[in-house]
Amino acid sequence: MDTGFAVLLIGALLLSVVFSLFQQRTYSRATKRIGLGFLGAKDHFLVSGRGKGFLRGAIVLMVVDASTTRIVAAEAMVGGSVLARFKPRPELLGDLDTAVMRTSEKKMTEAVDYATKQYWVTYKRSVPAARCS
């Protein structure tokens, strides 16, 4: 009985690793797809954010045009399984400052808020001090 439980535990651990790698591949492909869509575009930033929950969560990818502070592309993965996929989120397109108010799901709101903060940190680091004043 003890070896059966150990085998079950090891099997669950291996399954968890495989699913984690699968999820990472999904994220990697989505960032690559969105990033290549704006390759060479000046003043565009790709940022991501997550809203983490115990059973469900959300990850959002947004491309922000720094010259207008508008979201020009947005995709999100919302769900509680490895079968969740990134899907376009047209409700997020528009002004960055009001993006959080345009979401209806709790974890999605957290993800958009996190991505917005990431944008401002990235923007401040990339813009020379003379342009910020």
The pLDDT of residue 1: 55
Q: Print the domain residue range for 113.
A: 2-132
The pLDDT of residue 126: 77
Amino acid at 120: W
> In sequence order, which residues have a C-beta less than 8 Å from that of residue 80 and are 6 or more positions away?
53, 55, 56, 57
85 φψ region: left (φ > 0), alpha (ψ -120 to 50), beta (else) = beta
Q: pTM of the entire structure?
A: 0.82
The pLDDT of residue 39: 86
Alpha helix segments (H runs only) across the chain: 2-37, 106-126, 129-132
CA–CA separation, 50 and 112 (whole Å) = 7
The pLDDT of residue 82: 77
Q: How many domains does the chain have?
A: 1
Q: What is the pLDDT of residues 28-87, one digit of tens each?
A: 999 999 989 888 888 899 999 999 888 888 999 999 998 899 999 999 999 877 778 999
Percent of the chain with pLDDT over 70: 94
